[in-house]
Amino acid sequence: MIDWSHYMPAVIGLLGVVVGGVLTFGMQARERRLNRLATIRTEVAEVVILSTAIQEGLQTIHMPAVEYKLSKEQIESVIPQVTGEWLSARSKLIRLSHTADKATKQAADQLLLSLKTATNYLDPHSRPGLKTDFECADDVLHDLESCANALSDVSQALPIRRHMVLKKHQKIRELESR
């Protein structure tokens, strides 16, 4: 017969090592998840700032240009700034769509599409905008703003609620487009 009283300290020690290992692994996984979430939120904040700068640049080009007829030099001075911000925002959005969760990826993809649409339509030399004399500029810029807000809200929401926040923003965009 085995006398367990001699082995009990070893079993308790082994159990302590296993429990300690599981707790350490769990805390490291939690720390990695929190670091990843902080990185995604930082990238989202940078993208929202860039999209706002692009929106303001496009407004500078078009809103006064239609009403007050800015000089060609004034319009041309804003275009390189918008182009640089567009390239930076595009690379960050593509990176986000590869590293973020599904809801954040969908919001980033919507913002990327909205940025493409806005820059294509509101480019002073573009065919779509020139054909309509940029009369849909307000709608295009509003869509860009709502997509940026959606991405920001989705990234700030709790992981369980992200999908619901994204759906809410999509329904609001549908209702506004009617």
Give 128-146 pLDDT, tens digit per residue: 766 777 777 788 888 889 9
Q: Output the pLDDT for position 136.
A: 78
The predicted model scores a pTM of 0.76
Q: Output the pLDDT for position 23.
A: 96
Q: Output the pLDDT for position 66.
A: 53
* C-alpha–C-alpha distance, residues 50 and 83, integer Å: 11
Give 157-174 pLDDT, tens digit per residue: 888 888 899 899 889 888
Give 46-99 pLDDT, tens digit per residue: 999 989 888 888 887 766 555 566 666 776 777 777 878 888 888 888 888 888
* C-alpha–C-alpha distance, residues 34 and 100, integer Å: 13
Closest to 155 measured CA to CA, from 102, 95, 91, 88: 102
* C-alpha–C-alpha distance, residues 86 and 54, integer Å: 7
Dihedral over Cα of 137, 167, 102, 156: its sign: positive
Q: Output the pLDDT for position 59.
A: 80
134 conformational bin, left if phi > 0, alpha if psi -120 to 50, beta if neither: left
Write out the two tokens for 102. 């599904």
Closest to 169 measured CA to CA, from 48, 91, 161, 118: 161
- Check whether domain 40-177 has CATH 1.20.120, yes or no: yes
Structural domain spans, the chain: 40-177
Residues 108, 162 contacting (CB under 8 angstroms): no
What percentage of the chain's residues is helix, strand, coil (to nearest 5)? 85, 0, 15
Taking 70 as the threshold, does the pLDDT of residue 151 lie above it? yes
Q: Output the pLDDT for position 65.
A: 54
Write out the two tokens for 101. 């969760």
Instruction: Report CA 171 to chain centroid distance, whole Å.
Output: 18
User: Any idea what the Cα angle at residue 85 is, between residues 80 and 88, rounded to 5°?
Assistant: 130
